[in-house]
Structure 1
Amino acid sequence: MLKLSGVQREGVNLYSDIYDGKIWKTFPFNGSTFFTLETVTTHLDLLFNLDWFQPFTYSQHSTGAIYASVCNLPRSERNKPENTIYLGFLSGPKEVELERINHYLAPIVDELLDLWKGWRVPKTYQCSDGLDIKVALIVRSSDIPAT
């Protein structure tokens, strides 16, 4: 079961995780609250990442990875490989130019819009009646060229 760790720190003026920030507490900014103790397992927050790396030791080949982490998970769990959602790879050999990056991101954005609308998981181990899941992308992380 997911746990909102920020709830234990309520009232403390310490910002050490996404749970402590204003966006987590006020999203989607229309007076309703998306992230609550009641919705922590059904309303998921994704941290979207785009990063470049060199997969080969003696080469100038650069590969990009587009991936997401579920921020509802504790910090110690959210970036483990088994909890990372791989959304796409940019194969290189060089970083994609700014005017072409949207061609890679457009299908991912379309999928994220569908996830925002929600979908029904018919049955889970803990919920035999199923769950209605919604996903929000409220944080992104990338290096300067990717930004």
Structure 2
Amino acid sequence: MKINLKTGIDELIFGMTQKNVMAVYGEPDRQYKDDENNIIYLYNDKRIRVTFYEDEDMRMGYLICSHPDLELFGNRIIGRPTAQVQEEITEKGIKSWEVETFDSVDNVFNESNWLILQSEFEKIIRVEVGATINDNDEFDWKFKAR
């Protein structure tokens, strides 16, 4: 599974509708609404959580993934040391990072690519990728309806 920064993960492209996502992955294993009425799909075999934003016409705008085959720039990242992965990403030109700590979990965040590397005990446990915002302060939807 490949992370495509600012675009999505694998065949999932920011801006897809629920119907588009189901055409790719099928019915979700679980579906629910969060506190903001966004719809969440969970796909167990892909270890991915897909969020459709209620106030954006239910377009897919956020992905959380913990699949062991998840890759960024050709390197697997789940289970690897955060510092090592961050160094590899920095070598690709992504240099601005914010770090937040919550109990035993650290989030390393790059806003320009809306990328969060979440780690526990210095190993990456999951990655969060979101649709980016353009110069007009709107989501930069990459999916074009076919």
| Higher strand residue share | 2
| Higher helix residue share | 1
Same fold (TM over 0.5): no
Q: TM-score, structure 2 length as denominator?
A: 0.29
**Larger gyration radius, structure 1 or structure 2:** 1
